[in-house]
A and B are shown apart, each in its own frame.
Chain A
């Protein structure tokens, strides 16, 4: 059944149509293909959307009888010429499944390759600096030292102190049951200096500085600063990565010492309150019952963890594609990977040093 002629009038632009769009769509879907003729002469304004709406209502072809004022010819023509909407059918065969299986493997391989390449470049740059000491990036090194180390002092002390209190309090409750009060000093001393201090600091630094390093490299990629550096013949490995790795290696033992001291201080306070062991006694017997090797192991761990954090953070920073999505994804991944590698390395070092510095009676 055909109906009479459809008369359109007024403003057919997106902003004007928006409030009545659902009603209009319904009307057009009913009459679009049935109206005998279309009269658009009273339309004052029509944008691409208005034209598209009509064009789709007409079933993508011009109706037999249509009155189109000359002013609207161009906009109609534009919509008519718009490329047809095509969507490629998704490929579904065994290759897709195979690719899905292989992807994690390839990803790991590409990470390993990228990491090794970066490590090699950093070592080469370090070797090159031995022959050209003038090119040593002192400023970048001291800036990194300050950012990673000095700025972390307050938070490291706070966290260390509180953990020390908690640890000493819990241990004291158990030890008192056995009447082994004096052993609290051994437990706190060895536990904190050898294990807790380095790991605690590393997790803090991975969260604070690891993410900062990754984000910095990533933003430099997004803003093409890395490219600008490369064009000026400045190696990003030498100027950006090496100083951070070195700063981590040197500042982490100091942070470990600082945090362990704070944790022992916290432990001392809790011990005094809980077990009535005075701080003078605590300090004197700490030196007697905890072999100094534990402190050295703590320093070495701190250094190793720091280098790992810096390398992992830089690795993910260099992988960032120039877009914000990749930036956030890699920054998250960098922190997770840095903390994970710290824990793995800690396990490894624990096995390697199991015979050192633990007095067995």
Chain B
């Protein structure tokens, strides 16, 4: 089966310097792929390239087995409908209420009755741990973590085949992070979708990822299960995980 996302020999030049150089990565159907790397390593840029928001300087991207920019406008849009993206800053529509933000992709999809949309939106709100009374708030009235959860609910609204999450648990308390991991796992079991998520949180990483890709030195340094990556003899990877482990163990000492 062809991979859901296929990045082949991607090079990206931004602001006069190379962010990616000959980067290659495949994400197979049903994988929960974690993308880790230092701040400014180009993880967000990579997600933006997968969605077609940004073009790499060179290289080929395939989405659902077809070249990203292939086909007519309607075909490209249809491909985009099959994925959901959670932006690092939420990117909620500031003029719409929480309810309308989550209902937006459903209404755009068409064919749904308003009563059905109501139920689906409220169900999504419940899934991300928000109550029905939050539905009428405006994005500016939300806390940072709530923005994340509403954005997640919006990305999940169509229960897409591919979910791109940029730091989904940043700004959430540990309990919410755990609930988030449980939610994604449950949906993954039911719907069998593919997830690519960026995270700096080792707990989320170890609880959710079936595969880990390390982005550093402008390419994918290593990819595989957490243990495989952990075992890789590369100074960056060793430092990355050692640092996190020390942080994790500090309270226990």
Contact = CB atoms under 8 A, between A and B. Distances in A.
A349 interface: no
A14 interface: yes
Given A56-B116, A222-B94, A82 B186 contact: no
Contact of A71 (B111, B123, B190): B190
Give the residue among A21, A46, A49, A75 with the most B Cβ atoms within 10 A. Answer: A49
Interface in A138-187: none
A52 B132 CA distance: 18
A45 B187 CA distance: 12
Nearest to A55: B119
Q: How large is the interface on A (under 10, 10 to 19, 20 to 34, 35 or more residues)?
A: 20 to 34
A170 to B, nearest CB: 46
B179 interface: no
A352 to B, nearest CB: 43
Give the residue among A22, A71, A78 with the most B Cβ atoms within 10 A. Answer: A78
A101 interface: no
Given A18-B109, A21-B111, A323-B95, A83 B122 contact: yes
Given A48-B123, A79-B123, A15 B81 contact: yes
A321 interface: yes
B126 A82 contact: yes
Contact of B191 (A47, A56, A322, A323): A47
Contact of B95 (A21, A22, A74, A324): A324
A53 interface: yes
Give the residue among A81, A82, A222, A321 with the most B Cβ atoms within 10 A. Answer: A82
Contact of A85 (B115, B126, B127): B115
Contacts of A78: 123, 127
A326 interface: yes
A14 B159 contact: yes
Contacts of A13: 159, 191
B184 interface: no
A40 B104 CA distance: 30
B94 A82 contact: no
A325 interface: yes
Interface in B69-113: 81-82, 93-95, 109-112
Contacts of B161: 15
Q: How large is the interface on B (under 10, 10 to 19, 20 to 34, 35 or more residues)?
A: 20 to 34
A252 B174 CA distance: 58
Contacts of A48: 120, 123-124, 159
B148 to A, nearest CB: 17
B111 A53 contact: no
A83 B192 CA distance: 26
Interface in A55-78: 56, 71, 74-75, 78
B108 to A, nearest CB: 12
A198 B67 CA distance: 59
B42 interface: no
B138 interface: yes
Interface string B110-149: 1110011011101110110000100000111000000000
A324 B94 contact: yes
Contacts of B190: 46-47, 71, 74-75
A91 to B, nearest CB: 16
Contacts of B140: 321-323
A83 B126 contact: yes
Nearest to B122: A83
15 contacts: A14-B109, A46-B190, A47-B159, A49-B116, A52-B123, A53-B116, A56-B115, A79-B119, A79-B123, A82-B122, A82-B126, A85-B115, A322-B140, A323-B139, A324-B94
Interface of A: 13-15, 18, 21-22, 45-49, 52-53, 56, 71, 74-75, 78-79, 81-83, 85, 222, 321-326
